């Protein structure tokens, strides 16, 4: 699981600078905010942030998920939901520059504050109310299911053993019929890492994984976080038991394991955990 993409950040910054400049935004010295599956960069001195699909493109085309994110964030912001809205300084996108997909967002001042389990639960309950009023987009659970299908097809190229991929595929097929329930619009990745502390309160960001499906898919993201006591967060809003969430917890395990492998392609510091997770995900197949 080596990292063959050393120029991801440079390419991302160049694309963000080029698109912003083409729309009349003056960019001085960009400031890297985050590099994971995507690169997030502040286009200083403008109060503008670019999210650039980098490793994400190994499993997705980028334009579909980025487009959903912009549309959903815009709809939620217009309804008054606690979310980071798309940029207004220029068209938020998604844009494509020399094959690189990116979107734009306002720079938000973040506070050094983490939510408690009760605050995280309350923030999700508030967001859930706004999501319930929106039409669902896409096929049920298409983001996690399509990601895993793409991973199973491609991960042999990334030194993931064939028997591990076969085990993961078998687990996925067994759990798929149990993923039932009423479909609705979801955040898609509603864990506290995507809940930002701002001067106007907690705001949800990173809606790239938004999809439709049963609410349990959002709840397991909160339940399985390592940032706080996820069980306490769910209990604070009367959430389901772990037994009731069992198939969703299994899907979450498979999905997260696949993404660890993808992120480790560009960030070798995650290689050991990626290997441990993917071996565990495929071991019970």
Helix 216-223 and helix 117-131: axis angle, to 10°? 160
Superfamily of domain 8-106: Phosphorylase Kinase; domain 1 (3.30.200.20)
Q: Which residues have a Cβ under 8 Å from the Cβ of 96 and sit 6 or more positions away?
A: 63, 102
Tell me what the mean pLDDT of segment 167-175 comes to.
97
Architecture of the structural domain at 117-283: Alpha-Beta Complex (3.90)
Average model confidence (pLDDT) for the chain?
A: 95
Flag whether pLDDT at 145 surpasses 90.
yes
Token duo for residue 248:
């969703």
List 96's β-bridge partners, or say none.
101
Structure confidence by residue, pLDDT tens digits, 68-104: 999 999 999 999 999 999 999 999 999 999 999 999 9
pLDDT tier for residue 3 given thresholds of 50, 70 and 90? very low
Token duo for residue 141: 């659970």
Residue with the larger pLDDT of the pair 107 and 62: 107
Supply the pLDDT for residue 62.
84
**Where are the domains positioned within the chain?**
8-106, 117-283
Sign of the torsion angle spanned by Cα atoms 51, 59, 183, 233:
negative
pLDDT confidence of residue 283: 86
Q: How far apart are CA 229 and CA 120, in angstroms?
A: 10
Q: Is the pLDDT of residue 284 over 70?
A: no
**What is this structure's pTM?**
0.94
Residue 273 tokens read as 């955990």
């Amino acid at each position: 699981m080596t990292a063959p993409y050393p120029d991801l950040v440079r390419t991302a910054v160049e694309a963000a600078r080029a698109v912003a400049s083409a729309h009349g935004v003056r960019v001085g010295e960009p400031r890297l905010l985050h590099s994971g599956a995507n690169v997030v960069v502040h286009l200083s001195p403008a109060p503008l942030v670019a999210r650039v699909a980098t490793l994400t493109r190994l499993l997705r085309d980028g334009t579909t998920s980025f487009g959903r994110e912009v549309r959903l964030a815009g709809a939620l912001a217009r309804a008054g939901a606690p979310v980071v809205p798309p940029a207004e300084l220029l068209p938020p996108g998604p844009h494509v520059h020399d094959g690189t997909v990116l979107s734009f967002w306002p720079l938000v001042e973040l506070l050094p504050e983490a939510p408690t389990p009760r605050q995280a639960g309350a923030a999700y309950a508030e967001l859930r109310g706004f999501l319930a009023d929106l039409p669902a987009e896409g096929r049920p659970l298409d983001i996690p299911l399509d990601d895993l299908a793409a991973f199973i097809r491609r991960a042999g190229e990334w030194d993931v053993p064939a028997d591990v991929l076969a085990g993961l595929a078998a687990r996925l097929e067994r759990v798929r019929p149990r993923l039932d329930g009423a479909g609705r619009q979801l955040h898609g990745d509603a864990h506290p890492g995507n809940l930002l502390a701002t001067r106007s309160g907690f705001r949800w960001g990173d809606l790239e994984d938004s999809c439709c499906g049963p609410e349990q898919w959002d709840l397991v993201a909160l339940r399985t976080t390592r940032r706080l006591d996820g069980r306490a967060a769910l209990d604070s809003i009367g959430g389901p038991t772990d037994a009731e969430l069992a198939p969703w917890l299994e899907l979450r395990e498979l999905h997260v394991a696949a993404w660890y492998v993808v992120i480790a392609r560009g960030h070798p510091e995650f290689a050991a955990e990626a290997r441990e997770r993917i071996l565990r995900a495929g071991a019970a197949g």
